[in-house]
Amino acid sequence: MQTVKIALIILVALFLQLVLSKYIGVCRYLDLTLLVTVYISLQRVPIKGMLTGLLAGLGDDAIRGGILGVSGFSMTLIGYIISVASVKLSLENRLARLGVVALASIANTLLFVGLYLVLEQNRIAGQILPFTNSWASLGRIIAYKAIADTLVAMVAFVILDRIFYEQATARRMAIKKRFYE
């Protein structure tokens, strides 16, 4: 049942990302599929975080165009790293989760741009990250994406906590048992 919920959440995130970025200019900096990947990765199951990142990234590649698999690879790596970090560290605090979102957004953007540069793709048709001649403009875009993702994560994580109520409760109990007993 949880797998079906994850798949549906990814589809909803892809749909909202497509619609919102088309009609609201500011939303082009938003990456809802990354937020879903981060949320699922914080559930302390590395394979689930990786598979969510893979599906979300491939879906993102499919709707945005460009090279298929670049977002899939970067989100898979992000999902794995966050899952492993959440096993080792207590990331249940809301402030810590927002910090993870900001770092994941920055890392995802850098991986995405880096992979395109390695693959010698100088221009991405219809993408948010045009390759400019200035590192400053790229830095601004990375900052805008990190801020947008972090702000939306405050609301999105509350909604996802309600959808995945059983997992959120079990996760909090495991943290309490591990760190406080």
**Residues 141-165: pLDDT tens digits?**
899 999 999 999 999 999 999 998 8
Backbone angles phi, psi at 156, to 5 degrees: -60, -40
Tally of structural domains, the chain: 1
Q: What is the pTM of this model?
A: 0.86
Closest-CA residue to 108 (of 167, 151, 149, 163): 149
**Residue 96: its pLDDT value, please?**
92
Please report which confidence band the pLDDT of residue 74 belongs to, taking 50, 70 and 90 as the band edges: very high
Task: Find out whether 148 and 30 touch, Cβ atoms under 8 Å.
Answer: yes
Domain that holds residue 101: 2-180
pLDDT higher than 50, residue 126? no
DSSP 129: -
Percent of the chain at pLDDT above 70? 83
Q: pLDDT for 8-49, tens place per residue? A: 999 999 999 999 988 888 888 899 999 999 999 998 889 999
For residue 69, the domain's CATH number is 1.10.1760.20
> Angle, nearest 10°, between helix axes 32-41 and 70-88?
30
Provide mean pLDDT across the span 103-129: 75
